[in-house]
Amino acid sequence: MNPFIKIRRDLHLIPELGFQEYKTQAYLLAYLENLSQERISIKKWKTGLFVKIKGINPTKTIGYRADIDGLPIVEETGLEFASTHPEQMHACGHDFHMSIALGVLTHYVKNPIDDDLLFIFQPAEEGPGGAEPMLKSDIMQDWKPDIIFALHIAPEYPVGSIAVKEGLLFANTSELFIDLKGKGGHAAYPHLTNDMIIAACSLVGQLQTIISRNVNPLDSAVITIGKITSGTVQNIIAEKARLEGTIRTLSDDSMEKVKQRINAVVKGIETSFECNAVIDYGSMYHQVYNDEEITRDFIQFMKTQTNIDVIQCKEAMTGEDFGYMLKEIPGLMFWLGVDSPYGLHHAKLNPKEEAIEVAIKMLTSYITFQGNRLQHTQKGV
């Protein structure tokens, strides 16, 4: 078995939620400590890691980021190496991301290039968001790369393919939590209560009109309410209700407009149902915007690789906090084909493991090209 497939399976057993990745960090450290330490520097950051590999004759630092957290999902794959942590699963492919990063890192420990490399193992991508505070850390400021890359698995694309585009790749995202409080009571006396289940149902419908009637139809935005919690038993009118959801937009202006309209609609619910409401927008992720020149360069290089099929994709409403890093550091993110009938965040997601070796070979080829190119140019090669 490919050693990095085994690593992926080991990591798949121990998914952990954001900023709780203690076993994951320990596993990564144990692996790294078994490598030659001649060119490696390792620094912990909360439950994440920074790993720097010294180059032979550096003129810049190339960054590569892998996220490490799991999701609060009950796994239903039936795999022999299914999650051992109750109600937690690597359902977004971060086990793949880590094993690929370790494969690339290991290659450069054994085969250093001219430039320095910085591998970032980032916690809490799924929430509450680790990229922005990691970016602001003293370690990142000391070791800040000049260019940065990342990938995300894509179940809808076959193994051996990547999908990428210049400019906007992933949307702006924001969490959405709305708490409603009215007056509960006996089901036989609804006139003496303010029923928050009715209020919540009305609110869900009104929130959807924001997209259909307040967002430019040539733009794109999404409001999804994924969870409603309310009530206790069947014959008591609910005093409280909580709505949990997400907002996705393709522009900062649309995000601001959507939030303004949510505020106004919720005020209307307060008046209509004589209740109190509290809105919490939780974590917000900046859009993933690929540097045009770097992405064109990346696409051109990948098209020269005989084992890679390059797909020009469209932007997606997916959220990714890697966008914060791309906001400050030029670079790109791309989709890696892993060919699964089940999508991201699905309890049965089972990507094809052959994609791990494909990604390692592809990334080492490109990073070597990037890391030696300037020196070769100066030497006239």
The set of catalytic residues is: 67, 126
Instruction: Answer for the pair 182, 199: CB distance below 8 angstroms, yes or no.
Output: yes
Strands 236-237 and 276-280: unpaired
Q: What are the residues facing 63 on neighbouring strands?
A: 118, 148
Both structure tokens of 2: 């490919």
CB-based burial, 37-54: b 16+ in 10 Å, e otherwise: eebbebeebbbbbbbbbe
d(CA 85, CA 15): 7
d(CA 17, CA 298): 32
Rg of the chain over all Cα atoms, to the nearest angstrom? 23
d(CA 248, CA 246): 7
**Count of CB atoms situated within 10 Å of the CB of 304:** 10
Cα torsion angle, 311, 313, 316, 321, sign: positive
Strand blocks (E) in the chain = 40-45, 48-53, 61-67, 116-122, 147-154, 161-164, 167-170, 172-181, 185-186, 221-230, 236-237, 240-249, 276-280, 284-285, 288-290, 309-312, 331-337
184 residue type, one letter: G
d(CA 317, CA 287): 9
Residue where the block lists tokens 């193994």: 159
How deeply is 109 buried, as exposed, middle or buried, from its count of CB atoms within 10 A (0-12, 13-18, 19+)? middle
